Amino acid sequence: MVLQMYQLTLIPICLYVLYHLYRYHKLSVRRKDFPPGPTPLPIIGNLHQIPISRPELRFATYAKEYGPITGLQLGSHNMIVLNTWEAVHDLIEQKGGSYSSRPKLAVTDVIVPGGLNPAFNKHGELWRKQRKLMVEFLGGDRTDAMKPVQDAESTQMIYDIMFAAENFEDHVLRSFGSVILETVYGQRENTFKPGGKLARFFEVEEEWAAAVGATASPPIQSFPFLESVPDWATPWKGWRRRAAKVKKAQKGLYLGLLRETKERLAVGKGVDSFMARCLKIQDKEWYDDLYLAYCGGILMEGGIETSASTTMVFILAMAAFPDTMKRAQFEVDTTCGLKRLPGKDDIPNLPYVRACMLEVLRWRPIIPLAVPHTTSAEDTYKGYTIPTNTDVIINAWNIHQDGLFFQDPATFNPARYLENERGGLPRTPAASEYKGRKSVYSFGAGRRVCPGQRFAENALIISFAKLAWAFDIEPTGPLAIDTWDDWTDGLVTRPKNLNVRFKLRDHGRRKVIEEAWGELTCSCVNMKMEWSNMAPISLVL
Ligand code: HEM
């Protein structure tokens, strides 16, 4: 009798499972008019074919086989990968109204509910408001007004490297981190100390990356029924609890920074930061504290690791390709001489350093597949149907490796950007044919394109010029230029365990760096506008 009851309860469960298996089997079948791609398996579709590590390499092989757009089935969910700049231009840029949303991920919904994170928010009124705030802060002349801070922090970066080169990664992270802390919150961090704001931020970022990692939570987007399966009954046991822990830490950090900004403003400090301006219009615009706290937080999330990782690629490339380093050094020496450091006013006179920056972004884009977009309406393109809610991936990696446009695309060659502003072969047809083609796709495209691009480019050129002026960067062991073993995985990637040595180019430069750093302490007080109220620059060695 007991056995019969047990069997009876099993029947609805089996029916439930069979129903979903049948449903997902039907949904995982490729539509005839969907863009071509590898053959999907029943139920899971192409999920098994997408590697967790460096998926862009697999997508590049699909690009060769299937052409400009690859169509993939991820369980019941659709994804397309745009492999050419034309496809990005025609869809993401020309049809921004329906190609600018973001995928809905259960784990990010737990960590940042209510669309508070502008970078992951769906296309709509709230995102537009958030984006406007960020663009007003990062766009146009405002970006140039922030160059003195980038200049000052990059001077401290090379000063720090000169004295403690073994911690160069920390110095790079601190420099870009402090730029964001200053411009967003009106305060700085002069050392990368345990328990400090930047250290706390990176701890939370690490927890966030672990919680949103590809295998850390159930693929609810591909199999929505998993949403209603109890946590304990899945292989991802505890994922909601882990996500809630990240939410608490992140919210605490961002609200804490906002609270500190208010306290500092009350005593007249940090008066012209992004947050100070947001607080001025808070009541008029109906921004609540949580909303503002996350707008500040996303600028830290978007602006620090990306710029620091790009600088790591520059350091790798300079060590691996000494001829390019020598050419960059020749340019900065000729422009600035030996008695002063290159700085913000030299940017227009450093075309080769700028070309190095573009080539670093092209050669090893640190976000090789950008951030996924999602369609908010059905569309047709070149005879294919792209349904609503399809994830759209910009395959920046593949676009940057296009041998028809770039000569020897695998080679690191900054000079390509001197010969052609988009880096293309000199024999490429008239520029008009490439109207709309970008120099690099590392900042994404369309309405979601990185709002910090110009801000980041300024900081990178200034930092690269100073590094080239001050140091020879030499290999001390194998360098990860043809292998991915020593690269991190995740949305943002970078080379790790870099086997390099920084050698001051000559003794005279040491004096110049020390003096430049010393002067910062004074000139910072005189920096007009917002910077006058910041903590003075000083280094605890
Ligand atoms: C080398 C440096 C950087 C790289 C490579 C980079 C790359 C990207 C990429 C690929 C996207 C997604 C674009 C898309 O969806 O099409 C993005 C978005 C974003 N970036 Fe950056 N970024 C950098 C620096 C910055 C900086 C300095 C800031 C701010 C201070 C910033 C803030 C943002 C924000 C807020 C978004 C989300 C935009 C939205 O969804 O509307 N980024 N970035």
User: 463 CA to middle of ligand 1, Å?
Assistant: 19
Q: Ligand 1 atom 40: the closest Cα is on which residue?
A: 119
Structure tokens at 143: 């970006």
- Cα–Cα distance list, 133 to 262, 282, 294 (Å): 18, 12, 12
Q: Contact, 446 vs 100, CB < 8 A?
A: yes
User: 429 CA to middle of ligand 1, Å?
Assistant: 31
Q: Ligand 1 atom 6: the closest Cα is on which residue?
A: 443
Domain boundaries, the chain: 31-423+444-524
How many whole angstroms separate alpha carbon 182 and alpha carbon 149?
A: 8
Atom of ligand 1 nearest to the CA of 121: 40
Structure tokens at 436: 């709309």
How many Cα atoms sit within 13 Å of 281 on the Cβ side?
A: 9
User: 222 CA to middle of ligand 1, Å?
Assistant: 26
Provide the 3-class DSSP secondary structure of residue 96.
coil
Select from 306, 314, 374, 464 the residue to mutate for testing ligand 1; criterion: most ligand atoms less than 8 Å from CB.
306
Element (H, E) at 74: strand 69-74
- To the question of domain 31-423+444-524 being in CATH 1.10.630.10, the answer is yes
C-alpha angle 412-417-419 in degrees, rounded to nearest 5: 115
User: 176 CA to middle of ligand 1, Å?
Assistant: 14
Q: Ligand 1 atom 3: the closest Cα is on which residue?
A: 306
Write down the pTM of the prediction.
0.92
Phi, psi angle pair for 298, to nearest 5°: -70, -25
How many whole angstroms separate alpha carbon 69 and alpha carbon 453?
A: 26
Classify residue 45 by its DSSP letter: B
C-alpha angle 410-415-416 in degrees, rounded to nearest 5: 60
Phi, psi angle pair for 374, to nearest 5°: -140, 145
User: 63 CA to middle of ligand 1, Å?
Assistant: 25
User: 492 CA to middle of ligand 1, Å?
Assistant: 11
Neighbouring C-beta atoms of residue 94, cutoff 10 Å: 12
Q: Contact, 442 vs 362, CB < 8 A?
A: yes
Select from 173, 443, 461, 493 the residue to mutate for testing ligand 1; criterion: most ligand atoms less than 8 Å from CB.
443
Q: Ligand 1 atom 33: the closest Cα is on which residue?
A: 302
Instruction: State the pLDDT at residue 529.
Output: 34
**Which is nearest to 335 in space by CA: 460, 469, 461, 471?**
469
Query: Among positive and negative, which fits the CA dihedral 181, 185, 188, 189?
Result: negative
Atom of ligand 1 nearest to the CA of 460: 1
Phi, psi angle pair for 471, to nearest 5°: -125, 155
> How many distinct helices (H) and strands (E) make up the chain?
19, 8
Q: Contact, 302 vs 363, CB < 8 A?
A: no
CA 444, distance to chain mean position in Å, is 9
Structure tokens at 3: 């056995």
Atom of ligand 1 nearest to the CA of 455: 27
Atom of ligand 1 nearest to the CA of 361: 5
Select from 181, 366, 450, 458 the residue to mutate for testing ligand 1; criterion: most ligand atoms less than 8 Å from CB.
450
User: 371 CA to middle of ligand 1, Å?
Assistant: 9
Provide the 3-class DSSP secondary structure of residue 41.
strand
Classify residue 47 by its DSSP letter: G
User: 539 CA to middle of ligand 1, Å?
Assistant: 30
Q: Contact, 358 vs 439, CB < 8 A?
A: yes
Q: Ligand 1 atom 26: the closest Cα is on which residue?
A: 303
Residue type, 6: Y
Q: Show pLDDT as tens, one digit a residue, over the chain (541 residues).
A: 555 666 666 776 666 667 666 666 666 667 789 999 999 898 888 988 988 889 999 999 999 999 999 999 988 899 999 999 999 999 999 999 999 999 988 888 888 888 888 999 999 999 999 999 999 899 888 898 899 999 999 999 999 999 999 999 999 999 999 999 999 999 888 888 888 999 999 999 988 888 887 777 888 887 777 777 777 777 788 888 898 999 999 999 999 999 999 999 999 888 888 999 999 888 887 788 999 999 999 999 999 999 999 999 999 999 999 999 999 999 999 999 999 999 999 999 999 999 999 999 999 999 999 999 999 999 999 999 999 999 999 999 999 999 989 999 999 999 999 988 888 876 666 666 677 899 999 999 999 999 999 999 999 999 999 999 999 999 999 999 999 989 998 889 999 999 999 999 999 999 999 999 988 864 443 333 333 334 333 332 2
**Which is nearest to 437 in space by CA: 63, 90, 89, 96?**
89
The dihedral over CA atoms of 8, 9, 11, 16, expressed in degrees to the nearest 10, equals 160
What ipTM score was computed for the predicted complex, to two decimals? 0.99
C-alpha angle 489-495-500 in degrees, rounded to nearest 5: 160
Atom of ligand 1 nearest to the CA of 134: 35
14 among the known binding-site residues? no
Who lines ligand 1 at CB under 6 A?
118-119, 131, 134, 138, 180, 298-299, 302-303, 306-307, 310, 366-367, 370-371, 373, 442-445, 448-452, 455-456
Provide the 3-class DSSP secondary structure of residue 394.
strand
Classify residue 110 by its DSSP letter: H
Residue with tokens 């920046």: 396
